[in-house]
């Protein structure tokens, strides 16, 4: 400890490098993570500097966004690191600082190895997907000398091999990840935001408004979602926006029902009454006191629902009703590879494996969140 | 007069019938006065408090009556003005601090929320003021405690925090609903001291709702005794304890243990039990338990009449 303190004094400029300050202050885990991310980002910038320059000049918004994300996240990590080190040097949180419910939960989450592992996997997949243009060496849809390049088995040049048109599958898998992962995340967000506000509104107004809104929920639940999807993608050209809308707009009733019920029961509790007794308008009682108390199960179901959304998108695409080739998505890549399964197993294998990995990770994440957020599992080995 | 309540009736409309939780209650509180509302559990004391702030849970509502706060009719107010009354003019301290504080916010945050709602302070000012209030309600190291969550504090400290949220808006009237019932006897005494200190410091009137005659004797200027939703007797503190007139009040006082009672002397209880609100006895609701009861008592409820200057009693047998 004495040594590390002197190191801070000797070279304060080193704290500019993200994580170094934390390492010096014996916050090893946080320091290592910050440092690792920064090192990875810088390494990628050096390795693909030409590609980055090219991407900045290109008209394609997704390439431009990848560069912005890379640089922006590096800056964010660096400034967070500086801010946090300064906070630690000023004495941190103090001895009596509260154990906020989130901090308690995160401590309980971190002992769950599977859940933590799934967070790394999910994080890595999302970063790879966003940075796909900077990481892949080949364009996902370029076809050259098809006869020579088709069905090449995995090698250094093509880590996942090539498909029947000689396209690089690694590159297609990463670009496919962008489609699958963003649909999963956005559809989940849409569904949870609609569900939460809808349920809260029904509970807030109560009476006849509540009855009408909840009967509407019954209608949406009774609707055969899958056939609705089939019909809509039949009528309209399927694209990411349409899939997000369809998946998001059909899956919110569960959340709405849960939130409504929870708010109706929470508002009878004394802390809600005391919030009213200090003169808080009912709208704010719900937003500030009731929704936050009801939210942790929604968080768990959100993690599960991302997996569900990604699975649904993959099924649709597999059936040829979702994202259409040549735009890659994991679903249509598996579907494209099934005919060649005996000659080139890798075509369907890699996207399928990534899909499975993602779904399992989100399930494990949901599991871990549930254990960490549920006070009933508390107090055994964590405290 | 700070608060005048006239003929307040708050009923609950249940499937089984109408529950008259507060039935024709009238009283007044002057500025900076301490009034105690005493009665057994479930006699309607809390509903009186909730009626004042229009917080009665459904299916209950105020059926009749007038409540004037500084001459302003509480029942005629729109929702906006009512919200200003709550917290800014009338503060309410709940019985169970452990459940009345929101577990997901720090205590400093919860006090600051009241300040920002009623006193137009900036975030920073509200934070500083909430630390000052925590010090004022006797919490040591308020700067650090402000960052604590309710479950990290003891019951006594939680009650202090709850009191701090109730006085943060600098109300003219503080209603304390069984403020010490959930606490240890030693902590009870501290909380009562605190309430008395704050009452002078903030020049508030105090409406103390309790079933504990010891608390009443220690705190109140005036006492109202409540039974099955009605006030049976009201008098200033000395008169009531020295010379209780209503048979129910006499029974209450006799059943409370006190210093000076001879060894081996048996405490006398009131025979019978508190009647079910939905099946109240006819006439005076106390008559089945009353040793003075006569025919007259079973016919109609006796009116609350002035039997001496400043004291009222509702009993045919007391004049």
For B233-274, the pLDDT digits (tens) are: 999 999 998 888 899 998 888 887 776 666 777 777 788 888
Q: pLDDT value at position A380?
A: 47
Residue B63 has pLDDT above 70, yes or no: yes
Instruction: Choose among B85, B104, B141: nearest Cβ to A101.
Output: B104
Residues A256 and A367 in one domain: yes
Q: pLDDT value at position A9?
A: 53
CB proximity A234 to B under 8 Å:
no
Contacts of A270 in chain B (CB under 8 A): 94, 96, 99-100
> Is residue A103 a part of any domain in this protein?
no
Q: Is the peptide bond before B176 cis (omega within 30 degrees of 0)?
A: no
Residues A315 and A205 in one domain: yes
Domain ranges of chain B: 3-220
- Chain B residue closest to A289 (CA)? B102
Range of the domain at A16: 2-97
Kindly report, residue by residue over A261-284, the tens digit of the pLDDT.
999 988 888 888 888 888 888 888
Report the C-alpha gap between A5 and A21 in whole angstroms.
Answer: 10
> Is residue A287 a part of any domain in this protein?
yes
Share of chain B above pLDDT 70, in %: 98
- Closest Cα partner for B173 from B62, B34, B310, B46? B34
Angle, alpha carbons B201-A272-B31 (nearest 5°): 25
Average pLDDT over residues B178-183: 84
Between A147-161, A368-382, B195-209, B269-283, the lowest mean confidence (pLDDT) is in A368-382
Kindly report, residue by residue over A203-261, the tens digit of the pLDDT.
888 889 999 999 999 998 888 877 887 888 788 877 888 889 988 988 899 999 999 99
Confidence of residue A377 (pLDDT cuts 50, 70, 90): low
Contacts of A277 in chain B (CB under 8 A): 53, 55, 86-87, 92, 94
A 254-273 near B (Cβ less than 8 A): 268-271, 273
Instruction: Choose among A99, A278, A293: nearest Cβ to B165.
Output: A278
Q: pLDDT value at position A10?
A: 44
Mutation to test the A interface, candidates B86, B102, B133, most A Cβ within 10 Å: B102
pTM comes to: 0.78
> Is residue A121 a part of any domain in this protein?
no
Residues A65 and A161 in one domain: no
Residue A72 has pLDDT above 70, yes or no: yes
Query: Could you give the 3-state DSSP secondary structure of residue B170?
Result: coil
Long-range contacts of B80-84 (CB under 8 A, 24+ apart): B82/B53, B82/B54, B83/A279, B83/A280, B83/A281, B84/A279, B84/B118
Answer yes or no: do A97 and B165 touch at CB < 8 A.
no
Tokens coding A191: 């569904």
Residues A170 and A281 in one domain: yes
Instruction: Choose among B55, B87, B113: nearest Cβ to A273.
Output: B55
Cα separations in angstroms, A105 against A368, A378, B23: 10, 9, 49
Answer yes or no: do A100 and B101 touch at CB < 8 A.
no
Residues A77 and A191 in one domain: no
On average, the pLDDT of chain B sits at: 89
Residues A224 and A322 in one domain: yes
Q: How many helices (H) and strands (E) does chain B have?
A: 11, 12
Report the C-alpha gap between A8 and A23 in whole angstroms.
Answer: 10
Residues A192 and A326 in one domain: yes
Domain count, chain A: 2
> Is residue A102 a part of any domain in this protein?
no
Answer yes or no: do A292 and B87 touch at CB < 8 A.
no
Residues A62 and A159 in one domain: no
Share of chain B above pLDDT 90, in %: 40
Answer yes or no: do B165 and A292 touch at CB < 8 A.
no
A 270-289 near B (Cβ less than 8 A): 270-271, 273-281, 288-289
Residue B277: DSSP 8-state = G
CATH number for the domain whose boundaries are B3-220:
3.40.50.300
Answer yes or no: do A95 and B144 touch at CB < 8 A.
yes
A 184-213 near B (Cβ less than 8 A): none
Cβ proximity of B38 and B103 under 8 Å: no
- Residue with the bigger pLDDT between A68 and A94: it is A68
Phi, psi dihedrals of residue B109, rounded to the nearest 5°? -60, -40
Instruction: Report the gap between the CA of A383 and the closest CA in chain B (Å).
Output: 14
Between A75-84, A98-107, B1-10, B111-120, the lowest mean confidence (pLDDT) is in A98-107
Cβ proximity of A21 and A82 under 8 Å: yes
Report the C-alpha gap between A259 and A345 in whole angstroms.
Answer: 46
Kindly report, residue by residue over A141-199, the tens digit of the pLDDT.
777 777 777 777 788 778 887 877 778 888 888 998 988 999 999 999 999 999 999 99
Confidence of residue B194 (pLDDT cuts 50, 70, 90): very high
Between A321-325, B40-44, B224-228, the lowest mean confidence (pLDDT) is in A321-325
Residue A97 has pLDDT above 70, yes or no: no
In Å, how far from its chain's centre is CA B95?
Answer: 10
Report the C-alpha gap between B304 and B48 in whole angstroms.
Answer: 17
Answer yes or no: do A280 and B147 touch at CB < 8 A.
no
In Å, how far from its chain's centre is CA A217?
Answer: 27
Average pLDDT over residues A77-103: 76
Instruction: Give this complex's ipTM.
Output: 0.80
Answer yes or no: do B103 and A289 touch at CB < 8 A.
no
Share of chain A above pLDDT 70, in %: 91
Instruction: Choose among A99, A278, A281: nearest Cβ to B114.
Output: A278
Q: pLDDT value at position A382?
A: 43
Residue A200 has pLDDT above 50, yes or no: yes
Residue B302 has pLDDT above 60, yes or no: yes
Report the C-alpha gap between A206 and A261 in whole angstroms.
Answer: 11
Q: Tokens 């994440």, residue? A: A365
Work out the burial of residue A37: count CB atoms within 10 Å of its CB; fewer than 13 is exposed, 13-18 middle, 19 or more buried.
buried
Answer yes or no: do A274 and B117 touch at CB < 8 A.
no
Tokens coding B156: 């006594």
> Is residue A131 a part of any domain in this protein?
no
Kindly report, residue by residue over A292-305, the tens digit of the pLDDT.
888 888 999 999 99
Average pLDDT over residues B189-213: 91
């Amino acid at each position: 400890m004495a040594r590390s303190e002197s190191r801070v004094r000797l070279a304060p400029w080193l704290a500019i490098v993200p994580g170094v300050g934390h390492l010096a202050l014996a916050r090893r885990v946080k320091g290592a993570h910050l440092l690792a991310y920064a090192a990875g980002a810088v390494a990628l910038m050096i390795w693909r500097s030409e590609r980055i320059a090219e991407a900045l000049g290109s008209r394609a918004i997704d390439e431009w966004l990848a560069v912005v994300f890379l640089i922006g996240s590096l800056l964010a990590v660096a400034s967070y690191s500086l801010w946090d080190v300064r906070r630690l040097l000023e004495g941190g949180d103090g001895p009596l600082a509260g154990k906020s419910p989130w901090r308690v939960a995160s401590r309980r989450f971190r002992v769950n190895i599977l859940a933590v592992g799934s967070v790394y996997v999910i994080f890595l997949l999302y970063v790879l997907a966003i940075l796909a243009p900077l990481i892949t060496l080949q364009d996902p849809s370029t076809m050259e000398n098809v006869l020579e390049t088709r069905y090449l088995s995995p090698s250094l040049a093509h880590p996942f091999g090539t498909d029947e048109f000689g396209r690089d599958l690694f590159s297609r898998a990463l670009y496919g990840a962008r489609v699958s992962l963003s649909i999963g995340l956005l559809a989940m967000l849409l569904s949870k935001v609609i569900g939460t506000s809808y349920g809260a509104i029904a509970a807030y107004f109560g009476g006849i408004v509540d009855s009408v809104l909840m009967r509407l929920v019954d209608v949406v639940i009774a609707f055969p979602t899958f056939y609705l999807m089939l019909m809509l993608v039949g009528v309209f050209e399927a694209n990411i926006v349409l899939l997000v809308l369809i998946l998001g707009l059909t899956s919110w009733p569960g959340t709405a029902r849960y939130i409504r019920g929870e708010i109706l029961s929470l508002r009878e509790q004394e802390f809600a009454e005391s919030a009213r007794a200090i003169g808080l308008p009912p709208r704010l009682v719900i937003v500030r006191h009731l929704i936050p108390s009801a939210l942790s199960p929604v968080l768990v179901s959100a993690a599960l629902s991302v997996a569900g959304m990604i699975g649904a998108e993959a099924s649709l695409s597999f059936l040829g009703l979702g994202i259409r080739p040549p735009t890659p998505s994991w679903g249509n890549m598996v579907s494209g590879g099934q005919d060649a399964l005996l000659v080139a197993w890798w075509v369907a294998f890699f996207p399928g494996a990534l899909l499975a990995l993602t779904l399992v990770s989100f399930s494990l994440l949901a599991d871990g969140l549930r254990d960490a957020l549920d006070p009933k599992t508390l107090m055994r080995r964590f405290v | 007069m700070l608060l005048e309540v006239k003929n307040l009736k708050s009923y609950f409309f249940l499937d089984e019938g109408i529950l008259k939780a507060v039935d024709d209650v009238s009283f007044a509180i002057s500025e900076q006065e301490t009034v105690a509302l005493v009665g057994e559990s479930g006699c309607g004391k809390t509903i009186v408090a909730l009626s004042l702030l229009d917080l009665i849970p459904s299916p209950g509502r105020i059926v009749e009556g007038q409540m004037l706060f500084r001459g302003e009719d509480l029942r005629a107010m729109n929702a906006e003005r009512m919200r200003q009354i709550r917290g800014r003019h009338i503060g309410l301290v709940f019985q169970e601090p452990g459940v009345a504080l929101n577990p997901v916010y720090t205590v400093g945050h919860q006090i600051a929320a009241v300040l920002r709602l009623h006193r137009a302070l900036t975030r920073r000012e509200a934070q500083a003021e909430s630390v000052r209030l925590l010090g004022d309600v006797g919490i040591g190291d308020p700067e650090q405690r402000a960052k604590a969550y309710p479950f990290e504090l003891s019951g006594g400290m939680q009650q202090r925090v709850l009191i701090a949220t109730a006085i943060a808006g600098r109300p003219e009237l503080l209603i304390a609903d069984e403020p010490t019932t959930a606490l240890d006897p030693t902590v009870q005494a501290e909380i009562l001291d605190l309430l008395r200190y704050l009452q002078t410091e903030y020049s508030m009137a105090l409406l103390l709702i309790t079933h504990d005659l010891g608390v009443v004797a220690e705190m109140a200027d005036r006492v109202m005794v409540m039974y099955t939703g009605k006030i049976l007797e009201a008098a200033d503190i000395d008169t009531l304890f020295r010379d209780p007139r209503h048979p129910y009040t006499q029974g209450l006082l006799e059943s409370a243990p006190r210093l000076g009672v001879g060894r081996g002397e048996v405490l006398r209880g009131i025979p019978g039990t508190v009647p079910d609100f939905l099946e109240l006895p006819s006439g005076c609701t106390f008559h089945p338990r009353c040793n003075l009861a006569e025919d007259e008592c079973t016919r109609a409820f006796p009116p609350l009449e002035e039997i001496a200057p400043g004291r009222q009693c509702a009993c045919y047998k007391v004049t």
